[in-house]
């Protein structure tokens, strides 16, 4: 950082108002706090705003003067902001966000709450501050490299959200603090240490017009570009800065003032020349204008502005029930008592995305939890697309569950042929496979494993909805393994399924799945397992 640059000027801003073109100065509103010295044609202000510290204690040396160079625009902008804040009476409620660049040390001077932030991120940090203290005044003060280069995304999105902050954008077309490199606002043909032949649009593109760019957005309330080129324009800048802050004080939307500002040191000009250069060279590229001056038009209608309901923390977090009490809650006295004849059961459920694979697993762990078991559910997660395969791992256990990842399941529910072939070999010896199909695929064999083919999709179709295929398989699973009580399944379904007609089909599906296994047992096609030891 090149802070050693120019620290030799005392109060450059004093000169600004008393000097040249004083006659052109519109007489500002009288401010009793500033103790103006009325000289008739103009007003000379020699005192320092109480918004500034008396002595700049945060500086390590030369504590009575700023670190800005002679003729630098920052001093003027600081003064205008300080006076406006003072007149608005908001010193105690102001939070000033200092950026990276020459104004990184703005907190040396402003006697307000100060937050210094990362390069370009001031609008994001100001967002976090303003959202945390909505009734405070939050100012983001940025240079052109900070705002228009590294921080382009942050300023555009803060403006687009209509953050109720005020942004002062000091544009001098160059990187000052780092010693004169190309800025996004450097003029065409203007030399910098990184555009030694001048800015060539073929190589560096054209200057970025931030005020115009932000004015394409709907949310901002106020956007103006001003220039510190002469007293008349400085007075316009003064009014723009005040207006922007007033908008914020009155609870208005995003306000933005771009200030074309001299940088005599880097430009290699004396202060007077530099100011003239702002007018003659910068304003043709960056025309002075009010680009926006009205509160955003908020769309009406319920969809545009839905207010989130307010609830207690316990309700929102599901610690206490919200709204409707569950029809048969987990703590219901009618909680089915079920003898779990296992230490743990590991179930893998697999099929196509959209077959209710993950939901079936969730229903099983909900049941297990209600029956007082330890449970875990681990999905195969992927890009949110329907066409892929999906599977999940379900553990039901009487003890703390170690790995939730099941490499060798006791039970595999294969909802399609692909899953059957993919996962059958993982099933433990003596385990069970429930396959969604009228019969096993030709050539399929799984010795040491009990395989049951259940035409679950067909059964579900006949019941009126293919969607309940997973519930048919759940019925079969409960009947085949007796790992959980069918009564718990019913109460879980009653709580989870809101549509009554679908619930009715679910009930039938559960029963149909169980009956299918029963009948299979009767005709001797399948022997009953011994449960899980």
428-457 residues near other proteins, rule: CB under 8 A: none
Give the one residue of 157, 191, 232, 422 binding other proteins; rule: CB under 8 A: 157
User: Interaction with other proteins in 250-279: which residues (CB under 8 A)?
Assistant: none
By CB under 8 A, is residue 474 in contact with other proteins? no
Of 27, 25, 47, residue with least CA distance to 38: 27
By CB under 8 A, is residue 494 in contact with other proteins? no
- The C-alpha angle with vertex 212 and arms to 207 and 214, in degrees rounded to 5, equals 110
Closest approach, Cβ 409 to other proteins, in A, equals 12
Give the one residue of 36, 336, 353, 379 binding other proteins; rule: CB under 8 A: 379
Three-state DSSP state, 1: coil
Contact string (CB under 8 A) for other proteins, positions 158-197, x = contact: ---x------------------------------------
Helix (H) or strand (E) holding 44: strand 43-44
**Residue for token pair 């089909």:** 505
Stretch that binds other proteins, among 232-240, 282-290, 313-321, 510-518 (CB under 8 A): 313-321
Backbone angles phi, psi at 424, to 5 degrees: -55, -40
User: Interaction with other proteins in 404-423: which residues (CB under 8 A)?
Assistant: 404-405, 407-408
**Number of residues in the chain:** 533
By CB under 8 A, is residue 350 in contact with other proteins? no
Nearer to other proteins, 41 or 92 (CB): 92
By CB under 8 A, is residue 472 in contact with other proteins? no
Closest approach, Cβ 276 to other proteins, in A, equals 33
Helix (H) and strand (E) counts for the chain? Answer: 18, 15
Residues 6+ apart with CB under 8 A from 123: 140, 142, 147, 151, 154, 155, 157, 158, 159, 163, 165, 167
By CB under 8 A, is residue 203 in contact with other proteins? no
Count of residues that interact with other proteins, criterion CB under 8 A: 76
Residues 6+ apart with CB under 8 A from 147: 99, 120, 122, 123, 155, 167, 169, 210
Closest approach, Cβ 200 to other proteins, in A, equals 30
Residues 6+ apart with CB under 8 A from 30: 36
Give the one residue of 27, 46, 58, 425 binding other proteins; rule: CB under 8 A: 58
Give the one residue of 66, 127, 166, 231 binding other proteins; rule: CB under 8 A: 127
Q: Which tokens go with 518?
A: 């029963």
Closest approach, Cβ 139 to other proteins, in A, equals 11
Closest approach, Cβ 340 to other proteins, in A, equals 16
Nearer to other proteins, 165 or 459 (CB): 165
Query: For the stretch 306-341, what's the b/e string if a residue is b when 16 or more beta carbons lie within 10 angstroms of its beta carbon?
Result: eeeeeeeeeeeeeeeeeeeeeebebeeeebbebebe
Closest approach, Cβ 7 to other proteins, in A, equals 12
By CB under 8 A, is residue 142 in contact with other proteins? no
Give the one residue of 20, 37, 132, 193 binding other proteins; rule: CB under 8 A: 132
List Cα–Cα distances, 492 to 144, 207, 485, 497, 520, in angstroms: 60, 64, 11, 8, 26
By CB under 8 A, is residue 308 in contact with other proteins? yes
Give the one residue of 28, 75, 99, 113 binding other proteins; rule: CB under 8 A: 113
User: Interaction with other proteins in 68-107: which residues (CB under 8 A)?
Assistant: 91-95, 97-98, 104, 107
31: left (phi over 0), alpha (psi -120 to 50) or beta: beta
Give the dihedral sign, CA 438/439/444/449: positive
Angle between helices 500-522 and 456-463 (to 10 degrees): 140
Closest approach, Cβ 39 to other proteins, in A, equals 34
By CB under 8 A, is residue 320 in contact with other proteins? yes
Give the single-character DSSP code of 199: B
Nearer to other proteins, 108 or 277 (CB): 108
d(CA 133, CA 285): 38
By CB under 8 A, is residue 3 in contact with other proteins? yes
- The C-alpha angle with vertex 88 and arms to 84 and 94, in degrees rounded to 5, equals 85
Give the one residue of 129, 211, 451, 459 binding other proteins; rule: CB under 8 A: 129
By CB under 8 A, is residue 383 in contact with other proteins? yes
Contact string (CB under 8 A) for other proteins, positions 328-347, x = contact: --xx----------------
By CB under 8 A, is residue 389 in contact with other proteins? no
By CB under 8 A, is residue 376 in contact with other proteins? yes
Three-state DSSP state, 222: strand
Nearer to other proteins, 239 or 496 (CB): 496
d(CA 370, CA 382): 29
Nearer to other proteins, 36 or 353 (CB): 353
Angle between helices 469-481 and 456-463 (to 10 degrees): 120
By CB under 8 A, is residue 360 in contact with other proteins? no
């Amino acid at each position: 950082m090149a802070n050693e640059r120019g620290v030799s000027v005392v109060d450059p801003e004093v000169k600004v108002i008393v000097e040249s073109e004083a006659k052109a100065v519109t007489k500002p509103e009288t401010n009793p706090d500033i103790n103006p010295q009325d000289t008739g044609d103009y007003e000379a202000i020699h005192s320092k705003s109480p918004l500034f510290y008396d002595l700049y204690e945060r500086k390590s040396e030369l504590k009575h003067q700023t670190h800005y160079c002679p003729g630098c625009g920052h001093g003027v902008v600081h003064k205008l902001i300080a006076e406006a804040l003072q007149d608005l009476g908001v010193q105690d409620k102001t939070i000033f966000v200092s950026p990276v660049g020459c104004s990184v040390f703005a907190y040396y001077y402003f006697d307000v709450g100060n937050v210094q932030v990362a390069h370009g991120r001031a609008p994001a940090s100001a967002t976090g501050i303003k959202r945390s203290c909505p009734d405070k005044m939050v100012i983001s003060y940025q240079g052109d490299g900070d705002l228009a280069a590294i921080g382009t995304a942050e300023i555009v999105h803060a403006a687009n959200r209509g953050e109720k902050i005020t942004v002062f954008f000091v544009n001098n077309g160059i990187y000052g603090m780092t010693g004169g490199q190309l800025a996004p606002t450097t003029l065409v043909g203007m030399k910098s240490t990184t555009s030694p032949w001048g800015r060539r649009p073929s190589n560096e593109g054209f200057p970025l017009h931030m005020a115009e760019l932000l004015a394409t957005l709907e949310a901002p309330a106020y956007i103006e570009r001003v220039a510190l080129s002469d007293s008349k324009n400085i007075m316009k800048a003064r009014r723009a800065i005040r207006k922007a802050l007033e908008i914020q004080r009155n609870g208005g939307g995003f306000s933005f003032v771009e200030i074309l500002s001299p940088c005599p040191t880097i430009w290699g000009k004396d202060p007077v020349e530099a100011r003239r250069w702002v007018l003659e060279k910068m304003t043709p590229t960056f025309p002075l204008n009010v680009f926006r001056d009205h509160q955003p038009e908020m769309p009406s209608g319920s969809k545009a502005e839905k207010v989130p309901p307010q609830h207690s923390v316990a309700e929102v977090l599901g610690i206490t029930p919200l709204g409707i009490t569950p029809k048969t809650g987990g703590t219901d006295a009618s909680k089915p008592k079920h003898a779990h004849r296992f230490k743990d059961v590991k179930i893998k459920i697999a099929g196509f995305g959209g077959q209710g694979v993950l939901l079936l697993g969730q229903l099983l762990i909900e049941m297990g939890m209600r029956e007082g078991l330890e449970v875990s559910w681990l999905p195969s997660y992927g890009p949110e697309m329907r066409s892929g395969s999906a599977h999940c791992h379900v553990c039901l256990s009487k003890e703390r569950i170690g790995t939730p990842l099941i490499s060798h399941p006791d039970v595999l529910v294969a909802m399609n042929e692909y899953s059957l072939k993919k996962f059958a070999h993982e099933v433990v010896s003596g385990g069970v496979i429930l396959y969604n199909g009228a019969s096993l695929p030709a050539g399929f064999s799984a010795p040491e494993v009990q395989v049951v083919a259940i035409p679950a999709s067909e059964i579900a179709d006949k019941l009126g909805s293919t969607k309940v295929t997973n519930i048919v398989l759940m019925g079969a699973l409960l009947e085949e393994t007796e790992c959980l009580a069918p009564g718990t399944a019913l109460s879980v379904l009653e709580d989870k399924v809101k549509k009554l007609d679908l619930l009715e089909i679910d009930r039938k599906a559960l029963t149909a799945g169980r009956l299918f296994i029963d009948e299979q047992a009767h005709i001797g096609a399948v022997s009953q397992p011994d449960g899980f030891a």
